[in-house]
């Protein structure tokens, strides 16, 4: 770490991980409600738990992205952050607004919350992932503007790199596309059409730019590969992301009333959406193979390779499975969608945030890398969470296949609730995998508290000394 102001990222990362724990706890509640229907009813109905689960995910990833930008931008720009104070103020604004919103969901019936927060003035609530009250949405915009301004000013007065440019395009895109959350036409078809401009053009559009630049940054640092090479890869990855992803939006327009040419366009372009993710995997493995230094932070390298692979599997392969219109006709809105959603968000976004945390957190604590013991624990966390997520995805996929078969494909389709009972065994197994995931997250967080600065310095020195002898020999 070269600039003092990079340290504001630490606050953001701590909050991100705290909210991540909350997200998983509510995930487990929902998972149980799938099999014990009246669990916590009517205190926390499923829709409330789900809102908390998904909104916490979005908010912690945003905290992660912002923390990443605050850490990366000064170092890339070779100058202090324009205003660390603004970053700290915005942190607290975002955290308090986020916490109040979650409390609102939990303590007040949603309809009452809508009434209290002026949903009548401009109805924007009650749409999936965009459930936040109007004032929260305005708060998000203010925080995003302040944040983009702060990092933007830093970029403008310093060195401009490809990584910081792509990151800035991604972050500005994120803020701009969010503005469509204020547009809620009375016509449901048009509502859905533009709703995807937030949701799809985030996760299968501009967020991939953020993902690519975070990954590229960490890879430069831990492998020492020439910046020119890494930046060429980054350009090609984000080029493919947008070339396939923008028209790939069409795979959401198959059955919502939009014209039928979207079935062709959406199928063809979204079928190519795995390409940028596959390139990310190649990118990560290639750069690590060509590394010119042995970085003592092995855990960060593991996260970098892991996010490449898991993003490709979750977003790429599991997305492709049901993206072609004739297949999606049967799978649309089933547990297959849930399977894909879980692995894609974990593999692409949760893991890349943990990757940058893994790389930067020791630096902000005055270490090159954590002690061996801490890194071993962190890697246990990595494997427990990742393998658990693979199983969650497999069980949900199995549930989805049963659902598609019994409810959609057979000659004598069965009613929804009857089919749900037949899927119960897979829902139970998913819940067990979820408990293991929570365990993995616990180990991961525990790893932050293992080992002293002295341990860390000693272990890092060993790795560096070994690398030196190799070089001299």
Partner 1 sequence: MNETFTKAMARNIFYGGSLFFILVFLGLTYHTEKVLPERDHRENITEQVVLGKKVWEENNCVGCHSLLGEGAYFAPELGNVYTRFGGSKEAIIAFIKYRPAEGIEGRRSMPQFNLSDEELEAVAEFLKWTSEINTSNWPPNIQG
Q: In the complex with partner 1, which residue's Cβ is closer, 115 or 453?
A: 115
Q: In the complex with partner 1, which residue's Cβ is closer, 156 or 239?
A: 239
Q: Which of 102, 162, 287, 302 binds partner 1 (CB under 8 A)?
A: 162
As a dihedral over the C-alpha atoms of residue 348, residue 351, residue 354, residue 356, rounded to 10 degrees, the angle is -50
Q: Does 249 bind partner 1 (CB under 8 A)?
A: yes
CA–CA–CA angle 253, 255, 260 (5° rounding): 65
Residues 419-448 touching partner 1, rule: CB under 8 A, are 420
Q: Which of 243, 364, 387, 464 binds partner 1 (CB under 8 A)?
A: 243
Q: Does 415 bind partner 1 (CB under 8 A)?
A: yes
CB proximity list for 255: less than 8 A, separation 6 or greater: 328, 329, 332
Q: In the complex with partner 1, which residue's Cβ is closer, 182 or 235?
A: 235
Q: Does 255 bind partner 1 (CB under 8 A)?
A: yes
- The SS3 of residue 414 is coil
Q: Does 281 bind partner 1 (CB under 8 A)?
A: no
Q: Does 277 bind partner 1 (CB under 8 A)?
A: no
Q: Which two tokens stand for residue 53?
A: 């689960």
Backbone torsion region of residue 108, taken as left when φ is above 0, otherwise alpha when ψ lies between -120 and 50, otherwise beta: beta
Backbone torsion region of residue 242, taken as left when φ is above 0, otherwise alpha when ψ lies between -120 and 50, otherwise beta: alpha
Q: In 3D, which of 349, 216, 356 has the Cα closest to residue 286?
A: 216
Stretch that binds partner 1, among 2-10, 86-94, 234-242, 429-437 (CB under 8 A): 234-242
Contact at 8 Å (CB) between 367 and 456?
yes
Contact at 8 Å (CB) between 139 and 116?
no
Q: Which two tokens stand for residue 36?
A: 């014990």
Q: Which of 258, 288, 364, 394 binds partner 1 (CB under 8 A)?
A: 258
CB of 398 to partner 1, least distance (A): 14
d(CA 342, CA 427): 14
Residues 11-40 touching partner 1, rule: CB under 8 A, are 30, 33-34, 36-38
Q: Which of 108, 275, 414, 445 binds partner 1 (CB under 8 A)?
A: 414
Q: Which of 338, 390, 450, 457 binds partner 1 (CB under 8 A)?
A: 338
Q: In the complex with partner 1, which residue's Cβ is closer, 229 or 464?
A: 229
CB of 251 to partner 1, least distance (A): 12
CB proximity list for 415: less than 8 A, separation 6 or greater: 407
Q: Does 156 bind partner 1 (CB under 8 A)?
A: no
Q: In the complex with partner 1, which residue's Cβ is closer, 16 or 220?
A: 220
Q: Does 473 bind partner 1 (CB under 8 A)?
A: no
Q: Which of 26, 193, 437, 444 binds partner 1 (CB under 8 A)?
A: 193
CB of 314 to partner 1, least distance (A): 18
Q: Give the number of other CB atoms < 10 A from CB of residue 108.
A: 14
Residues 195-224 touching partner 1, rule: CB under 8 A, are none
Q: Which of 2, 4, 47, 264 binds partner 1 (CB under 8 A)?
A: 47
CB of 426 to partner 1, least distance (A): 13
Q: In the complex with partner 1, which residue's Cβ is closer, 74 or 319?
A: 319
Q: In the complex with partner 1, which residue's Cβ is closer, 266 or 314?
A: 266
Q: Does 312 bind partner 1 (CB under 8 A)?
A: no
Largest CA distance in the chain: 74
d(CA 356, CA 144): 20
Q: Does 183 bind partner 1 (CB under 8 A)?
A: no
CB proximity list for 48: less than 8 A, separation 6 or greater: 105, 106, 110
Binding mask 382-411 for partner 1 (x = CB under 8 A): -------------------------xxx--
Contact at 8 Å (CB) between 79 and 157?
yes
Q: In the complex with partner 1, which residue's Cβ is closer, 143 or 325?
A: 325
d(CA 388, CA 144): 33
Contact at 8 Å (CB) between 101 and 139?
no
Instruction: State the SS3 of 103-164.
Output: HHHHHCCHHHHHHHCCCCCCCCCCCCCCCCCHHHHHHHHHHHHHHHHHHHHHHHHCCCCHHH
Residues 101-130 touching partner 1, rule: CB under 8 A, are 110-111, 114-115, 119, 123, 125-128
Q: Which of 116, 188, 424, 435 binds partner 1 (CB under 8 A)?
A: 188
Q: Does 365 bind partner 1 (CB under 8 A)?
A: no
């Amino acid at each position: 770490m070269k600039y003092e102001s990079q340290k504001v990222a630490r606050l953001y990362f701590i909050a991100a991980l705290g909210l991540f724990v909350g997200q998983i706890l509510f995930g487990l509640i929902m998972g149980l409600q799938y099999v014990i229907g009246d669990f916590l009813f009517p205190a926390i109905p499923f829709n409330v738990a789900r809102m908390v689960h998904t909104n916490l995910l979005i908010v912690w990833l945003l905290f992660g992205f912002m923390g990443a930008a605050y850490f990366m931008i000064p170092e890339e720009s070779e100058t202090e952050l324009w205003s660390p104070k603004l970053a700290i103020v915005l942190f607290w604004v975002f955290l308090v607004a986020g916490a109040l919103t979650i409390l609102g969901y939990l303590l007040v019936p949603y309809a009452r919350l809508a009434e209290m927060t002026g949903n009548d003035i401009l109805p924007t609530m009650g749409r999936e992932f965009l459930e936040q009250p109007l004032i929260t949405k305005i708060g998000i915009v203010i925080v995003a503007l302040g944040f983009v301004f702060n990092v933007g000013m830093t970029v403008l007065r310093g060195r401009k790199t490809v990584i910081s440019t792509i990151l800035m395009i991604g972050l500005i895109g994120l803020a701009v596309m969010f503005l469509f959350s204020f547009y809620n036409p009375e016509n449901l078809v048009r509502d859905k059409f533009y709703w995807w401009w937030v949701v799809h053009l985030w996760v299968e559009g501009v967020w991939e730019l953020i993902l690519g630049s975070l990954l590229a940054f960490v890879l430069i640092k831990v492998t020492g590969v020439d910046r020119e090479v890494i930046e060429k890869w980054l350009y090609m990855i984000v080029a493919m992301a947008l070339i396939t992803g923008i028209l790939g939006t069409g795979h959401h327009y198959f059955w919502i009333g939009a014209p039928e040419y979207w079935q062709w366009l959406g199928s063809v372009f979204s079928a190519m959406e795995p390409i940028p993710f596959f390139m990310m995997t190649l990118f990560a493995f290639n750069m690590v193979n060509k590394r010119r230094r042995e970085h003592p932070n092995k855990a960060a390298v593991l996260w970098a390779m892991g996010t490449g692979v898991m993003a490709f599997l979750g977003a790429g392969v599991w997305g492709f499975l049901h993206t072609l219109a004739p297949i999606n006709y049967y799978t649309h809105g089933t547990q297959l969608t849930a399977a894909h959603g879980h692995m894609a968000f974990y593999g692409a976004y949760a893991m890349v945030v943990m990757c940058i945390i893994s790389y930067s957190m020791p630096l902000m604590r005055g270490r090159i890398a954590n002690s061996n013991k801490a890194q071993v624990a962190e890697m246990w966390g990595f494997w427990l969470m990742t393998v658990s997520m693979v199983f969650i995805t497999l069980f949900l996929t199995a549930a989805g296949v049963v659902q598609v078969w019994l409810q959609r494909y057979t000659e004598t389709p069965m009613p929804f609730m009857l089919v749900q009972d037949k899927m119960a065994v897979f829902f139970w197994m998913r819940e067990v995998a979820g408990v293991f995931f929570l365990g993995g997250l616990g180990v991961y967080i525990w790893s932050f508290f293992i080992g002293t600065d002295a341990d860390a310095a000693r272990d890092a020195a060993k790795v560096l000394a070994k690398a030196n002898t190799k070089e001299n020999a």
